[in-house]
Structure formats: C-alpha cells, structure tokens
Structure 1
Amino acid sequence: MAQIFISLGSNVNKVHYFRQALITLQRYFPNLRHSSVFESEAVGFAGNNFYNSVVAAETQMPLADLCKLLKQIELDNGRTHKDKKFSPRTLDLDLLFYDDLICDTPAQLPRDEITKNAFVLQPLAEVAGDFFHPVAQQTIAKLWKSYNNPKQKLWKVEFTNP
C-alpha cells in the first residue's frame, strides 16, 4: 500500500466542490483522513479566496492510474483542460506525495509547491506532520514550523465533512 497525500483547492462555488471532491475521494479511499479546511487569498492572480485542505490515504492504485483518477475527478467537477495555471477553478486536486517517490512523470513528486505555499504546507502538517520529505530531508512538521512568508495568510474555516 502506498501512502498518498492530495491537496484540494477551490475558489468557485467552493463549499459545493469541496464536498463533491470529498464524497468521491472517500469512495476510492474509504480510510482517508482530512485536514481542517483553510481559506486563503488567491496566489499569483486576482480572484476569489480559495478553500484548501489535504487528504491522506493509502492505495494500491499505480501512480499513473491515480493521476488519471484525480484529473477525471477535476473534469467531472467542472474543471477544463483550458484552465490557466493561475486562474479561478472549481476544483484542483494535486498529488503531493506517493510514498517517498521522487519523479517528474506522470506527476512531479514530491510536488514543488509543498515548501512554497502555506495553503499546502499547513494542512499537510495536520495530517502528515511526521512524514519525511525526501527532497527537503525534514519532516513536514519541521518544514511548517520554519515556514516564513507573511504575504501568505490563511485561516481555518468551519466545514462539515460529507
């Protein structure tokens, strides 16, 4: 079984799409753990605030199949292939880790934005504090503790899991 961590993000009808994503992910990963939901300002473009969180799960699914599944869930929830990198989105599912695998295809692992964005690192620290980042050579908890970017503000929001 591979240990996986997936970030969730949305800034378009975010409560609805977050719920839909969690319902779908729970069908594939019944024992998933979900971080708190955080709200943050858009990074890289002017837009509505985002909801962000991270789920932890285990899977026997091969990496390529998992990547295809996450893209299909995005498409099923209104995402299009035409969406720019820095733009509003109904749903963004990014695989952060697949065990301690380091690769660039079919996904960049570990995902580069883990150490750069509070909206990824803080919820990841909630569900994977003891997980060892194979590139940074530190635990996620230690990375979060040393994170310092005052421009990125986020705050917990009330969110009831489906």
Structure 2
Amino acid sequence: MAQIFISLGSNIEKEKNLLSGLRVLIKHFPDFQHSSVFESEAVGFAGNNFYNSVFAAQTQLSLDEVYKLLKSIEYDHGRRCSEKKFSPRTLDLDILFYDHLICSSPAQLPRDEITKNAFVLQPLAELAPDFIHPVEGKTIAQLWQEYHNPTQKLWKVEFPKQ
C-alpha cells in the first residue's frame, strides 16, 4: 500500500466543485483523511479566490493509475488540458507525494509547489506534520515553520464535513 497526498483546489464555483471532487476521491479512497479547507488569493494571475485542501489515503493503485484517475476527475469537473498553468480552475487535483517516490513522470514528485505555496503547505502540515519530505529531508511541520512568504495569505473557511 502506498501513502498518497493530493491537493485539491478550485476558484470556479469553488465550494460546489471542491466538495464534488472530494466526494469522488472518497469513493475511490474510502479510508482517508482530509485537511481543513483554506481560502487564498489566486497566485500567478488575477482571479477569484481559491478554496484549497489536502487529501490523504492509502492505495494499491500505481502512481500512473492515480495520476490518470485524478485527470479523469478533473475532466469530469470541466477541466480541459488546454488550460494555461496560471488560470481559473473548476477543479485542480495534484499528487503531492506517492510514498517517498522522487520522479518527474507521470507527475513531478514530490510536487514543487509544496515548499512554495502556503495553500499547499499549511493544509499538508495540518494533515501530516511528521511526514518527511524526501528531497528536503525535513518534516512537513518543519517546512511550514520555516515558511515565510507574506504575500500569500490564507484563512480557514467553514466547509461541509465528510
């Protein structure tokens, strides 16, 4: 069984799409943990605020199977592969970690955004403070404690419990 961490984000009908995406993930990974949901300003472009969270589960699926599943869920929520990297999203699902695997395909692991974006690192630190980042060699709690980017503000929001 592999330990996986997935970031969820949306800024188009954000509550509806994040909740729907979460429900689909739960169907595939019923033994899960889910962080608080945080709202943040868009990073890299001018746009509506995002809702973000992190989902953790154990899986017997391969990395390739998890990657394809997430792309399928995004597509089912109106995401298109032609969208620019920094643009509004109905649903964005990214694999952050697949165990301690380091690779570049089918997804970059560990995900580069982990150490760069508060909207990924804070919910991840809430969910898995003792998980060791395989490249940084530090726990997620240490990375969050050392994180400093005053331009990235985020705050917890009330969100339906699953």
TM-score by length of 1: 0.99
- How many Å separate the matches in 1 of 2:143 and 2:32? 23
The alignment status of 1:75 with 2:75, answered yes or no, reads: yes
| 1:59 corresponding residue in structure 2 | 59
1:161: how far off? Answer: 2.7
| 1:126 corresponding residue in structure 2 | 126
SS in 2 for 1:6: strand
Structure 2: stretches of 5+ with no match in the other structure: none
The alignment status of 1:5 with 2:12, answered yes or no, reads: no
What is the correspondence of 1:27-38 to structure 2 with a 5 Å cutoff?
27-38=27-38
CA contact (8 A) 1:8 1:54 kept: yes
1:72: how far off? Answer: 0.2
CA contact (8 A) 1:8 1:94 kept: yes
SS in 2 for 1:132: coil
Deviations 1:39-82 (CA, angstroms, capped at 9, x unpaired): 00000000000000000100000110110000000000010111
| 1:108 corresponding residue in structure 2 | 108
- How many Å separate the matches in 2 of 1:105 and 1:86? 21
Which residue identity lines up with residue 36 of structure 2 in the other structure?
A: S
| 2:16 corresponding residue in structure 1 | 16
CA contact (8 A) 1:22 1:161 kept: no
SS in 2 for 1:133: coil
| 1:137 corresponding residue in structure 2 | 137
TM-score by length of 2: 0.99
Structure 1: stretches of 5+ with no match in the other structure: none
CA contact (8 A) 1:19 1:161 kept: no
1:19: how far off? Answer: 1.0
Aligned residues: 162
| 2:95 corresponding residue in structure 1 | 95
- How many Å separate the matches in 1 of 2:23 and 2:150? 33
4+ runs deviating over 6 angstroms: none
- How many Å separate the matches in 2 of 1:64 and 1:86? 24
SS in 2 for 1:138: coil
SS in 1 for 2:5: strand
Fraction of identical pairs, as percent: 69
